Chains A and B, each alone.
Chain A
């Protein structure tokens, strides 16, 4: 059930069998949400952490006029609100972008876990730092990259992150998002996304059709994005 989470952790650190068993034991319930449903609404006090087991989810903030900014996409294996363990109230919403399966980890159980296994505490601290690094990269995109660069960067990032949990190959991956979802990620509009996707296609870098990203020119796509995966801290380390 938490295999993708373990893949994500083990890509960067060693997790012992004892630690694995302890992580498994913190999940007390599994809940399903339909596509575009709210998992946790902004402002809600939280007593659980949500581990995304299947599907795509996101962190998002809304304007009063209905405009939405997605601030990070989450893939299977991500704890999508580990920061809620210390914050206790989310300043943003958690949304399901596709049908998702969420493992519920009560804060009390997470506390027991990291007290019994301080190394896991450091691994999860690292994980929230990694989220912050992803947010910084998105700020760079929103502030400085062109529309083409933003989308190219997002597609590069998702390839790496989905690849870590066995859901992407060198030539592409499934990404069941709409153009409206991509627009909300990258501060664009759906029509602008559509036009930019066409430009990516015409430059023979990538196609995105029917929920499938096909990467035609990996090196060219990374160049167009100025994508440097260093911010994803892929080096294995042991703390």
Chain B
């Protein structure tokens, strides 16, 4: 198991993860990152806003960013004009 830290950067600023979570591998960490982004976006949508400009950095204990998931990669957005 490896401990990764998930730092969020979006319109509200940066929130650093000081606690971290353990994962079997980076794929598992990315799946968790996507779930985390969706949870944050759900809350924003409840408030009437969807800001997809954020990102979540998956970092090692030393702070080195190992992988980045953009908020707009975590969900699929469909609009009327996409079906034409």
Q: Which residues of A come within 8 Å of B, CB atoms?
A: 146-147, 178-180, 188-192, 194-195, 198
Contact = CB atoms under 8 A, between A and B. Distances in A.
Nearest to B7: A191
Interface of B: 6, 8, 12, 15, 17, 19, 21, 32-33, 35-37, 39-40, 43, 46-47, 56
A189 B35 contact: yes
Contacts of A189: 32, 35-36, 39-40
Contact of B8 (A146, A147, A178, A191): A191
Contacts, number: 42
A31 B35 CA distance: 37
A191 B19 contact: no
3 cross-chain pairs, A with B, having the tightest CB-CB distances, nearest first: A191-B36, A189-B39, A189-B36
A236 B29 CA distance: 49
B43 A191 contact: no
**Residue with the highest number of chain B CB atoms closer than 10 Å, among A178, A179, A191, A198:** A191
Contacts of A180: 19, 21
A178 B39 CA distance: 18
B30 to A, nearest CB: 13
A191 B39 contact: yes
A85 B39 CA distance: 38
A194 B35 CA distance: 14
B19 A194 contact: yes
A191 B6 CA distance: 7
A192 B17 contact: no
